[in-house]
Structure 1
């Protein structure tokens, strides 16, 4: 008896090569989110940068990624998603080259801002292109899991990459590494990735674009400043400005024939519920990460390196889950997978709510963090696909940008809301109004170095605040469970393959 080997599928092989091509710039964008932190001390010395300038070197990139994402996604739908990636790769490479040889802090800040503007389009546009490359739902979710793995892996290795470069080269090398990577992207993407755009591109409304960027930048700035400096006049002014610009933006969208943000997306039950679930989980993950790190270093007294070992399970579990979730999706109903993964997140927050201040709390919070990140890591590809496949094909990049923006705003809001709640609980439990120790757990630990009673009270009070954050996580995750269960019950929209002649040529 002879057997005949199944011939390889050339279309699938080509799609996998295209996925690899799209993953390359995504990896670099992920690395650039955190790699600069390693180089900042050296840059501060050599560029004579102030503390505020060093902060803006980091924040200018992150702010522009969040602020421009909605606009760049809408532009990609109109001019072509592949063309947008190629254009942004070129801009990213040029800005990186300028940043590498910058001689002033101001030039570095501008270069990082331009890099963030270009980077804001790459991840959501790549996610949107996956819909044309992988039409079958399970394959598309698997591809999104692979893309997420690349993104998370890039963030995980960024400090190592930065350390190696600084060991052998000057600080500009952390910028310059983008040039060859984006050069390869520009060379291979046109050969491997088919173009995808709206059949009849709508004109872009520049006023809506300006309003959206201004609103998001104002809100993100206000939320992040509130975390770092507390609520002050600049926070109040920028928060009000962001809310007003956002309200004007939304009102304008209802009057346009071709809005930048199609509010009808939010009328689709699957899209609306999935976006709400993504926003709430991002808020919880962002807010509790602040408590998690302070708990390990201030309550448990670990060094940054010692704390990193207890944080490592989070990153490992999320990367593993990004691949396991799509694998489970092929074998079980999607609703079962998503609800099960969200239940793991509930269990993780329960552990946050019971972790003691003693050393036994370290493995408890490590397991809690691993469960939480595993849950969202496994469910995220399916949730992201629910937003993209639930939207019209001509809005694929816009819907992917909206999902990413929900994550960005959720994280920023979580840091502010849960951080503020934690501060209130910490001060109430400590019961030392007007003292230096009342300002924060960091100040409290510093004050308590030579006062064991005060130190114990500070650590116990912060642990109580951590418990409250964990209980808030459990309560909100129950809401997320309901949203996710109802969203995955809705059928996916049938993907419509656009630009048929070019895709037929690609498949051939």
Structure 2
């Protein structure tokens, strides 16, 4: 948090950043922009993916969120690795790998290859995010400048959300779906050229030994748990689902115990004894949980239910992305007038209101309702993300920046992945429960109709005109019932988050005002 009191007698005033540091910040925004554009554009490519690769509902969810899951499992590890080998070096290696694998993803021949490419993108992506935040923490030592730098850095996510739909929509209308993965290549090349000149190398001379067993335990706990969520929501408590959940829970328990007993833990759980830190990580997690899930199913609504092209759908979502950018920048000014806890609490509350409006969605809802929902949830994410990152980074000394940024980014990516996994799986379950398949649909086509709205629309193209329109209408109705139910659950989750996080931050984080 910003330090508004004068330094104590004898305390050294931290140096202020100059032109070189601000130029370096522009370079550090590039990796954030790349990741955000990729994820947003991928959401718009879901309809074309459904048509070209014919993935199952489970494969489609994995394509969307396996990246976030693997990324979240490796972020803390890569944060510690950057502390040891050098944050700039890790950033350069990650950028080169990310660019190369993006080309592989663009030409993936089927759903399984695309899932594999997304896993590799996550591995290299995990080297990018902790490096950017920890380098930023060491570039901007003045608290006020750091908060502004964090706000600008955070706009990379929102800016990517704004650019991704426009650029992705244009590419999808003129090229094949794989072109969206090539968006990152030019930005990666700029980073590789400018990074060595603008970014100073930094590392933690006292970094502990990297704990490889903890790395495998963290991933081993996360993947079975998310698999259980996906399968449980759609197929109920089957033996495999229960076994996966128990496996993840046991491995997660072993992981946590190991972190508490090691002198140099992979995940420093001691940071979580600070209420402000814990509440900020929670707010970080759930704000992006809400935004990512909304992006996942609203892009499908705009294309499959409203019948818009990818470009037309992208235009509808621009106000929400712009609101997220503006809210992130306004958060810096707002924190000078109001308590940080108040600004974050208002951000979470806006997400609650947005999801409450989403619960009113029907197949005939006007496009203005979609715009309103995205503006509210996007504004909430912009307010919360900027200040929670500031609290998280400011709470640790510079030499622990890698570990702290790893935790911050883990919360972000895990929230994004679980938002799609949990609410996306719920949407699929409601769709299948509410779908009324019209009489006369052939047995060989019925599984595609029952799978999800994307495959249902493709299957309808193979049917006679009257029956095809009946299938489309039934799919739209079931999908919108799923959207309304999912938004209602999302509103409940965000309400509980607000009621818990806001009071904790109000008590733990002293208000800051000018």
TM-score (norm 1): 0.75
Aligned CA distance change for structure 1 residues 226 and 442 (closer, same or farther; 3 Å): farther
Check conservation: 1:142, 1:381, Cα contact below 8 A: no
Q: What is the CA–CA distance in structure 1 between the aligned matches of 2:331 and 2:82, rounded to whole Å?
A: 29
Return 139-148 or 212-221, whichever deviates more: 212-221
In structure 2, the residue matched to 1:71 is 77
1:408 is the counterpart of 2:425: no
In structure 1, the residue matched to 2:252 is 246
In structure 1, the residue matched to 2:352 is 346
1:81 is the counterpart of 2:98: no
Return 380-389 or 85-94, whichever deviates more: 85-94
In structure 2, the residue matched to 1:486 is 504
The CA RMSD over aligned residues, in Å, is 4.7
In structure 2, the residue matched to 1:375 is 380
Q: Give secondary structure in 2 for the equivalent of 1:472.
A: helix
Q: What is the CA–CA distance in structure 1 between the aligned matches of 2:46 and 2:452, rounded to whole Å?
A: 25
Q: CA deviation at 1:388?
A: 2.0
Check conservation: 1:71, 1:212, Cα contact below 8 A: no
Q: Give secondary structure in 1 for the equivalent of 2:18.
A: helix
Aligned CA distance change for structure 1 residues 399 and 250 (closer, same or farther; 3 Å): same
Q: CA deviation at 1:480?
A: 2.6
Aligned CA distance change for structure 1 residues 475 and 40 (closer, same or farther; 3 Å): closer
In structure 1, the residue matched to 2:287 is 281
Aligned CA distance change for structure 1 residues 105 and 254 (closer, same or farther; 3 Å): same
Q: Deviations over 1:50-95 (max 9, x none)?
A: 858x968776655542332221122123333233213323443555
1:201 is the counterpart of 2:207: yes
The counterpart of 2:327, out of the listed 287, 299, 321, is 321
Aligned residues: 481
Check conservation: 2:162, 2:322, Cα contact below 8 A: no
The counterpart of 2:400, out of the listed 369, 392, 395, is 395
Q: What is the CA–CA distance in structure 2 between the aligned matches of 1:102 and 1:370, rounded to whole Å?
A: 34
Q: Deviations over 1:316-338 (max 9, x none)?
A: 22222222222333444323322
In structure 2, the residue matched to 1:386 is 391
Q: What is the CA–CA distance in structure 2 between the aligned matches of 1:484 and 1:70, rounded to whole Å?
A: 26
Q: What is the CA–CA distance in structure 1 between the aligned matches of 2:23 and 2:324, rounded to whole Å?
A: 24
Q: Deviations over 1:467-488 (max 9, x none)?
A: 4444433333333333035325
Q: What is the CA–CA distance in structure 1 between the aligned matches of 2:111 and 2:254, rounded to whole Å?
A: 35
Aligned CA distance change for structure 1 residues 238 and 394 (closer, same or farther; 3 Å): farther
Q: Deviations over 1:201-241 (max 9, x none)?
A: 11111111222233334444555677898887765554443
1:139 is the counterpart of 2:174: no
In structure 1, the residue matched to 2:490 is 473
Q: Give secondary structure in 2 for the equivalent of 1:72.
A: helix
Q: CA deviation at 1:489?
A: 4.8
1:15 is the counterpart of 2:5: no
Matches within 5 A, 1:102-501: 113-158=119-164, 161=167, 181-220=187-226, 223=229, 238-297=244-303, 300=306, 306-355=312-361, 357-359=363-365, 361-422=366-427, 463=480, 465-482=482-499, 483-487=501-505, 489-491=507-509
Q: Give secondary structure in 1 for the equivalent of 2:261.
A: coil
Check conservation: 2:106, 2:181, Cα contact below 8 A: yes
Q: Deviations over 1:79-136 (max 9, x none)?
A: 3323321332344355557778999998877665444212112123212222222223
Q: What is the CA–CA distance in structure 1 between the aligned matches of 2:181 and 2:468, rounded to whole Å?
A: 46
Check conservation: 1:329, 1:337, Cα contact below 8 A: yes
Check conservation: 2:161, 2:321, Cα contact below 8 A: no
Return 69-78 or 175-184, whichever deviates more: 175-184
Q: What is the CA–CA distance in structure 2 between the aligned matches of 1:78 and 1:341, rounded to whole Å?
A: 36
Q: What is the CA–CA distance in structure 2 between the aligned matches of 1:261 and 1:363, rounded to whole Å?
A: 43
TM-score (norm 2): 0.75
Check conservation: 2:170, 2:310, Cα contact below 8 A: no
Q: CA deviation at 1:20?
A: 1.1
Check conservation: 2:362, 2:484, Cα contact below 8 A: no
Q: CA deviation at 1:172?
A: 8.8
Return 30-39 or 214-223, whichever deviates more: 30-39
Q: CA deviation at 1:244?
A: 2.7
Check conservation: 2:228, 2:242, Cα contact below 8 A: yes
